[in-house]
């Protein structure tokens, strides 16, 4: 115990010290409590750089099952699309030009998030690469590609994702992709009237 004279002479300082000590203790306790209650933030879903993609179960336009793997020595571009995606239609000339210029060096694969109207889409659009549909919806959810079309995913041998471009090739993205692949792209294009009519007739 402190002598009464010391307490009397230093009362205000002792009181201040006691208050500060209590405040510090309370802050430490609350900090630990908040940390314990704060949920752990998991990585967001979707295809990200350095993700390793497993073989993807898919179906072709006739419903035949296939496996898209990444064992080829060449890198792959997986172009994620949807038959009903208007931005995919606007971006068609870009992906066709990119594939036509780089297909000797890179394997191109179209991957639809749905098999609905896929055969009509492939028939109406002359794409220079095969197009499949994801066979299992949970795979689409895991890849995070639902409601995110088009996506252009560059995958190295073994399945490691090197680059991801989400969305159609707007001017900034077009320039970046041209520089990356050393290719020339025509830019976004509105579908011609006949293409629009066909799209409306088929619901695409």
- Residue 48 in any domain: the answer is no
Residues 117 and 76 in one domain: yes
pLDDT at 88 over 80: yes
Residues 60 and 115 in one domain: yes
More confident position, 34 or 82: 82
Tokens of 96: 């066709």
Output helix, strand, coil percentages for the chain, rounded to the nearest 5. Answer: 40, 20, 40
Residues 85 and 172 in one domain: yes
- Residue 46 in any domain: the answer is no
- Residue 109 in any domain: the answer is yes
Share of the chain above pLDDT 90, in %: 55
* Structural domain boundaries enclosing 7: 1-41
pLDDT at 32 over 60: no
Q: How far is CA 167 from CA 13, 143, 150, 202, in A?
A: 64, 15, 5, 23
pLDDT at 51: 87
The whole-angstrom distance between residue 102's C-alpha and the CA centroid of its chain comes to 23
Residues 95 and 157 in one domain: yes
Residues 73 and 172 in one domain: yes
Residue 142 banded pLDDT, cuts 50, 70, 90:
low
Q: What is the mean pLDDT of residues 25-43?
A: 44
Q: Are 81 and 88 in contact (CB under 8 A)?
A: yes
Whole-number average pLDDT of the chain: 79
Residues 85 and 183 in one domain: yes
pLDDT at 16 over 70: no
- Residue 115 in any domain: the answer is yes
Q: Are 176 and 170 in contact (CB under 8 A)?
A: no
Q: What is the mean pLDDT of residues 32-52?
A: 54
Residues 181 and 90 in one domain: yes
Residues 71 and 127 in one domain: yes
Residue 160 DSSP code: B
Rounded to an integer, what distance in angstroms lies between the CA atom of residue 177 and that of residue 179? 5
Cα torsion 49, 105, 59, 95 to 10°: value is 80
- Tally the domains of the chain: 2
The answer to which of 81-85, 162-166, 200-204 has the lowest mean pLDDT is 200-204
Q: Are 101 and 95 in contact (CB under 8 A)?
A: no
Residues 81 and 140 in one domain: yes
pLDDT at 21 over 80: no
């Amino acid at each position: 115990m402190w002598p009464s004279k010391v307490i009397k002479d230093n009362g205000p300082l002792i009181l201040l010290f006691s208050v500060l000590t209590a405040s510090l203790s309370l802050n430490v306790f609350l900090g630990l409590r908040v940390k314990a209650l704060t949920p752990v933030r998991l990585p967001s879903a979707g295809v990200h750089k350095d993700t390793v993609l497993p073989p993807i179960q898919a179906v072709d336009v006739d419903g035949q099952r296939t496996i898209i793997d990444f064992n080829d020595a060449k890198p792959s571009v997986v172009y994620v699309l949807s038959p009903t995606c208007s931005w995919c239609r606007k971006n068609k000339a870009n992906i066709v030009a990119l594939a036509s210029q780089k297909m000797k060096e890179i394997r191109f694969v179209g991957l639809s998030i749905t098999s609905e109207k896929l055969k009509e889409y492939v028939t109406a659009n002359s794409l220079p690469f095969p197009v499949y549909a994801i066979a299992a919806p949970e795979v689409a959810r895991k890849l995070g590609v639902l409601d995110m079309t088009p996506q252009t995913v560059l995958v190295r041998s073994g399945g490691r994702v090197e680059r991801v471009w989400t969305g159609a090739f707007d001017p900034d993205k077009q320039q970046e992709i041209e520089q990356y692949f050393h290719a020339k792209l025509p830019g976004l294009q509105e579908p011609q009237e006949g293409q629009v009519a066909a799209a409306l007739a088929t619901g695409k």
